[in-house]
Amino acid sequence: MIGKPLPLRDLGFRSVLELVAEMPEVVRVCPYEKGTFVLKAIADETTKAIAKLVARQRRSARARKTAAVRADAASLSKNAQSFPQRGRAPVLPVTVKAELQDLLS
């Protein structure tokens, strides 16, 4: 947040995982893919309302993305029938495009 590395050694830790392991009431370490981890904040009484709003926002964003992906798929199938394939750049599958959009957002 402040643009400087965490002073882990000064605090007596060798890694960020060691630091967050000492704060189970604040953050949860969740295994992800291929040996990576995701750190999830744990809401307390003062932040539960915010956590609910964020969760609702994520769900509605997913719904919008799903609708956009379906619209793109319909548009692509219409355009694919009306244009010849020679000389065109390859079109990414809709699922790949959606995953890239998720990564970039």
Domain ranges of the chain: 25-57
Record the tokens describing residue 73, joined without a space.
């798929």
Please give the model's pTM, rounded to 2 decimal places. 0.42
pLDDT digits (tens, 9 = 90+) for 31-84: 888 889 888 888 888 888 888 888 888 666 666 677 667 766 666 555 555 455
Q: Considering all CA atoms of the chain, what is the largest pairwise distance in Å, rounded to the nearest integer?
A: 65
Q: In this structure, what DSSP letter does residue 8 have?
A: H
Record the tokens describing residue 19, joined without a space.
């630091």
Map tokens 């997913």 to a residue. Answer: 62
